[in-house]
A and B are shown apart, each in its own frame.
Chain A
Amino acid sequence: MSDLLLVPEKRFEKQIKATREKDGVELSILNLGPTHPATHGIFQNILLMDGEKIIDGEGTVGYIHRAFEKIAENRPFYQINVLTDRLNYCSSPINNTGWWMTVEKMLGIEIPKRVQYMRVIIMELARIADHIICSSVMGVDTGALTGFLYVMQYREKIYEIYEEICGARLTTNMGRIGGFEREWSETAWRKIDKFLAEFPAVWTEFENMLSRNRIFMDRTIGAGAVDAEMAMSYGFTGPNLRAAGVDYDIRVAQPYCSYEDFEFDIPVGQNGDCYDRFCVRNAEVWESMKIIRQALEKMPAEGGYHADVPDYYLPPKEEVYNNMEALIYHFKIVMGEVPVPNTEVYHAVEGGNGELGFYLITNGSRVPYRLHFRRPCFIYYQAFNEIVKGRSLSDAIITLSSMNVIAGELDC
C-alpha cells in the first residue's frame, strides 16, 4: 500500500523518524484546523513542520459535505436553486443566475435583453460583495481589522439591494426559470444608484490603506506564489488564475447573459502571489462597477422582468389565486407536468472564485438525472499544500485567505 493512503499523521511520523535518524533534526506535526479561526471555513491541514517552515502537508476536506448532488437528483429544477445559494454563499446571485441559465439553455428559452441586463447588474453586485469579503479578510489576517469594519458597512448596502429585489440578504434564492419573480422596485434602482455613487470613494480609501502599505506588502508579496503553468495544470480559474497572468475569464471567453455588450477589462497579475490576487480582486471591483453603470445606461425600457414562457415560468402568486390559467400553469410546473428534453448540458459562469459550471443530465422527468457542480474552490484548493511547501506558517495562512476558499462551495 502506498504511504499516501495512510492517514497523514502516520505518514509524517515515518518521515520524522527517518529525518531524526539521518540528520538528527526533529520535525514536528502541526494540526491546523478544522476549527482554526484563520482558516475561514473548515478544512483540516496536517502539516509537517521544521520549526516554522512547512515541509509537507495534507489537507482533509468534507467537513460540511451536504450531498448537494444527491439532493439535486431528488428535487425538481426550480427547487435546486436553493442549493446553489449555499455553494458560494458570499455571492449567491451569481450561482442562482448560473443555475437558471443552465436550465434555460437546456430548455432552449430565449431571455429578453432587459432581464439579461438586470441579471448582469445583480451578478456584478454579487461579485463586488464577494471580493469585499475576501480582500477585507486578507487585511484582517495581516492585522488590519479597520478595513474590514469599514468596507463591511458597504457590503450591507449591497445586501439591502438584494433585500429590495428578492427579500433575502445572503442566500438570495433569486429569480425563476425565465427571469425574476417580480419587477425591481423604485427603491431598488435608487439604492443601486446610491451605491454606485458612494462606493468608489470607500473602495479608493480601502485600497489606499492596504495596497501601498509596507506591512501588508511585506506580508503578501512573494507569499504563496503560483506560476501560470502550475495554475493551469491544477485547474485554477477566476481571480487566482488571473493573478498568475492568464487572462481567462468566461465573461469574455464564452459570453453569457449579454456580457459581450459591455466594455470592461480583465485585470491580470504577474507573479500569482497573495499580493497579486489581492490587487486583481480589487481591480475587478472597479470593472464590476463599470459594467453595472453600462448596464444601467443601456437598460432597455421594454422587455419586462421575465421571458414569456408560461410553461416554465412560475406565475406570480396573486395570479395563481385569481386567474384560472395561471393556476393551471402553476399546478403543471409544481407537479412536473411540463415537457423536459432528454439531453445533457454544461453551462459555466464566472463566479466570484472562477469557473462555476453546472453539468446537467436530464432524462425527461421533473428532476435532473444527474447534476454535477464544477466548484472552482474544490479544484484549486488541492494545490494549497503544494503552494505552501517550503514556506513559513504565516505565509500559509495568508495564502489560504487570499485564495478565498469557501467551505460551502468546496464540500458541496
Chain B
Amino acid sequence: MSLTNEIIQQTLSRQFTPKVENFHILHDMLAFEVKKEALFEVIQFLKEDPSMNFNFLTDVCGVHYPDYDEDRQFCVVYHLHNWFDNVRIRVKAFLPASNPEVESIVPLYAGANWQERETYDFYGIIFKNHPQLKRILNMDEMESFPLRKEFPLEDQGRTDKDDRFFGRTGPNC
C-alpha cells in the first residue's frame, strides 16, 4: 500500500493533535503547521516511523511575515521526501518575533547543518542545540539579518549609483 496524503494526515492528526494543524494540499504537496515545541518530535516521527519513512531532508528555509500576528512573524519551512513511496511533504513552524527559536534537526539529518546556519544568517532564527550556529554566507561581523523584510536590498552606503536613475526613489516593485 502506498503512502498517500490522506494517510499521512490521519496518522499525524491521531498522533499529535493539537500540536499539528492546518493541513492543506497545494500543487499536490501536503503541507501542515506544527507548533514549534513539537517540531523535533514530529519530524523525528516522520523520519523514523516505519509507516512514514521520510528518509530525506530536501530543504530548510525561513520566511518572514511582518504583517502577521506577533507570534507568527517568522516561519521555518522543511521539505521532506519519502523516496520509497515518492511522497513529498512540507512542514512549517511559525515562530514569534520576540523569540524566534526552534529545535535544530541536525541530529536527525546531518544535511540540515548548513541549511539551518543559512536560515540563521538570513533571518536570525535560533536553532537550539545546533552544533555550530554561526553565520555562513555573510561576514561574522554583520549585524543585520538581511532577508528580513525591513532591510533593503541595496547597500545604503554605496556612492556610485544614484537611485533616481534606477527607478528606486519610492516603494517600487
Residues of chain A touching chain B, judged by Cβ–Cβ distance below 8 Å, are: 2, 4-5, 7, 61-62, 65, 67, 69-71, 73-76, 105-106, 230, 232-236, 248, 253-254, 336, 343-346, 348, 355, 357, 359, 361, 366-367, 369-370, 372, 374, 378-383, 411-412
Contacts and interface: CB of A to CB of B under 8 A. Distances in A.
Nearest to B109: A233
Nearest to B133: A5
Contacts of B64: 370
19 contacts: A2-B131, A2-B132, A5-B132, A65-B138, A73-B153, A230-B110, A235-B56, A253-B86, A336-B173, A344-B26, A346-B27, A346-B29, A355-B58, A359-B59, A359-B61, A366-B173, A374-B58, A378-B114, A382-B114
B96 interface: no
A61 B114 CA distance: 10
Given A69-B122, A232-B55, A361-B63, 12 more contacts: A69-B147, A70-B146, A70-B153, A232-B56, A233-B110, A253-B83, A345-B27, A370-B63, A374-B79, A379-B115, A380-B111, A412-B137
B102 interface: no
B88 to A, nearest CB: 7
A166 B31 CA distance: 38
Given A69-B147, A232-B55, A234-B111, A74 B83 contact: no
Interface of B: 26-27, 29, 31, 55-59, 61, 63-64, 77, 79, 83, 86, 88, 90, 109-111, 113-115, 118, 122, 131-140, 146-147, 149, 153, 173
A4 B115 contact: no
Contacts of A359: 59, 61, 77, 79
Contact of B131 (A4, A65, A230, A380): A4
A244 to B, nearest CB: 13
Given A74-B173, A235-B57, A372-B61, A62 B138 contact: yes
Contact of B27 (A62, A69, A105, A253): A105
Contacts of A105: 27
Contacts of A232: 55-56
B137 A65 contact: yes
B153 A346 contact: no
Contacts of A343: 26-27
B138 A372 contact: no
Contacts of B136: 61-62
A357 B173 contact: no
